[in-house]
C-alpha cells in the first residue's frame, strides 16, 4: 500500500488521469455554484428586512369632536409651537373629509408626522404639550393615537 492510500486508510484505488481531472472539475464547479448562490442571494435576502438603524416615521392622529364652538381656539393657536422642537409637522389639520365606507366621522381629523415613534411619544409627553391637553379635554371629545409608518427606499 502506498503512502497516499495508507494515509486515507481507503481500499479504493487511487484516482488518476481523466478521472482525477473530472473529480477536481466537479469539486470546483460545486464550489463555484455555492459561492455564486451566496453572492446572488445574500443581497436579495437583505432587501426583505428593513434596516435596523433606519427609523420608521410615525403619525399622531386625532379625531376631535368639539363640545363648545370656539373653545379649542387657545389650544389650536399654541399647539404648533410644541410640535416644532420634535420635528413634527401637520399634514392634515381639519379640512374636507370624504367618507368612502362606513359612517362619516362627526369630528375634525388631525394628522401630524414625526420622524419616529419615539419623537412622537416624546412630544406627546413633553411638558409643553402636557400643559395644552386640559384645554383640548375641556373643549370636546378626542380619540388620539400614534401609528408607526413604513419606510420607502
Cα 29 from Cα 18, distance rounded (Å)? 16
Spatial separation of the C-alpha atoms in residues 1 and 42, rounded to whole Å: 46
Side-chain-facing half-sphere of 118: CA atoms under 13 Å? 3
For 150, phi then psi, to 5°, come to -115, 160
* pLDDT higher at 67 or 153: 67
Threshold 0.95, pTM exceeds: no
Q: What is the pLDDT of residues 8-59, one digit of tens each?
A: 555 655 556 655 555 555 555 555 444 444 444 445 555 555 555 678 999 9
Q: Is the pLDDT of residue 114 over 70?
A: yes
DSSP secondary structure string for all residues of the chain: --HHHHHHT--SPPP-HHHHHHHHHHHHHHHHHHHHHHHHHHHHHHHHS--TTSPPPEEEEEEEEESSTTTTHHHHHHHHHHHGGGT-EEEEES------SSPPPSSEEEEEEESSHHHHHHHHTSHHHHHHHHHHHHHEEEEEEEEE-----
Q: 117: pLDDT confidence band, cut at 50, 70 and 90?
A: very high
The residues, ordered by sequence, that sit 6+ positions from 149 with a Cβ below 8 Å of its Cβ are: 56, 57, 58, 59, 113
Amino acid at each position: 500500500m502506498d503512502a497516499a492510500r495508507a494515509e486515507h486508510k481507503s481500499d479504493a484505488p487511487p484516482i488518476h488521469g481523466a478521472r482525477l481531472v473530472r473529480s477536481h472539475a466537479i469539486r470546483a464547479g460545486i464550489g463555484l455554484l455555492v459561492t455564486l448562490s451566496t453572492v446572488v442571494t445574500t443581497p436579495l435576502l437583505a432587501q426583505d428586512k428593513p434596516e435596523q438603524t433606519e427609523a420608521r416615521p410615525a403619525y399622531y392622529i386625532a379625531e376631535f369632536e368639539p363640545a363648545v364652538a370656539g373653545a379649542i381656539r387657545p389650544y389650536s393657536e399654541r399647539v404648533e409651537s410644541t410640535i416644532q422642537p420634535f420635528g413634527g409637522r401637520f399634514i392634515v389639520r381639519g379640512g374636507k373629509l370624504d367618507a368612502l365606507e362606513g359612517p362619516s366621522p362627526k369630528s375634525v381629523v388631525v394628522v401630524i408626522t414625526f420622524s419616529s415613534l419615539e419623537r412622537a411619544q416624546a412630544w406627546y409627553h413633553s411638558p409643553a404639550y402636557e400643559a395644552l391637553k386640559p384645554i383640548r379635554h375641556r373643549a370636546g371629545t378626542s380619540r388620539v393615537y400614534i401609528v408607526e409608518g413604513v419606510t420607502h427606499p
